[in-house]
Amino acid sequence: MIFSWPFKVCNVANKLQISIGTATKGARIRRDSKLELIQDGAGNYMITPHDTHAFLMKSNSNYFCLGGTIKARYEWKTGDNFKQEHSDIYKELMTEHNKAGNLEDNWKTGPGFIENTVTKTYFGNTWRTGLVPFEPDCSVAEVQAMSDNTTLLCPMQHITGWTFECLDIRPGEKIVSNKIGEEMYLVFGQECFTYSKDGQWTRQTLAKHSVKKQVSAALEINNGSGDICTLVRIWK
């Protein structure tokens, strides 16, 4: 395991671990074995196969890029479920998944590997799963910062069953966050603000990289920064 990405970690109600870190170019998170896959709080590997492609699995890391440029790379070894002939199928699935966000893909493939480099831009203001909902079922996986000031959000669940989604808010624009599920948390990629009423309306600042539990049925969220804000919701 290679882990050179600096993270600040937030424990959320002993149910979630939210890690956010801004790295310089070259920082990496890499596993070299499936034994290094993420586990839940009980030590169980969180591996969910794709419904129709046994050589893919549901994303084991749930990374969200909040800014900068990242490269995701996968390598397979003899005996892995993912093989060279599956590369084109995987690229087509990912391209179709990210089509609505006008994502510019930069795929590269070669003997024993597939990788894609993505620069964070505006991907749309409707809720969606992350850019990599599924990944190859293989031994080696790596995320690398390809530019300075690349920010990564890594949410981990102690008990499985949480859903991770995101949307983008342009500077000066707003969205309405509707509460779903029994429990829901929001992570703010940039400074935002909302208004609360306790006799009179008061502006409330939502700090950059803060984690808030949404309890109201609907919450208006305004992007008060000069950058695109990625808003991540985690619900169950």
pLDDT average, residue stretch 11-19: 94
pLDDT average, residue stretch 202-208: 92
Q: Where are the domains of the chain?
A: 2-157, 163-235
- Rounded Cα gap, residues 111 and 99, in angstroms: 27
> Which pTM value belongs to this model?
0.91
CATH number of 163-235: 2.60.120.10
* Joined tokens for residue 142: 């790596």
- Rounded Cα gap, residues 21 and 17, in angstroms: 13
Answer whether 165's CB lies under 8 Å from 232's CB.
yes
- Rounded Cα gap, residues 33 and 26, in angstroms: 21
Percent of the chain exceeding pLDDT 90 equals 74
Work out the number of other CB atoms within 10 angstroms of the CB of residue 13.
Answer: 10
Q: From the centroid of its chain, how far is CA 12?
A: 17
Decide if pLDDT at 116 tops 90: yes
List of residues 6+ apart from 215 with CB closer than 8 A: 179
Decide if pLDDT at 39 tops 90: no
Confidence bin at 130 (pLDDT 50/70/90): confident
What is the average pLDDT value for the chain, to the nearest integer? 91
158 — phi, psi (to 5°)? -75, -35
Q: Which region, left, alpha or beta, applies to residue 160 given φ > 0 means left and ψ of -120 to 50 means alpha?
A: beta
Decide if pLDDT at 32 tops 70: yes
209 — phi, psi (to 5°)? 70, 15
pLDDT for the residue 102: 62
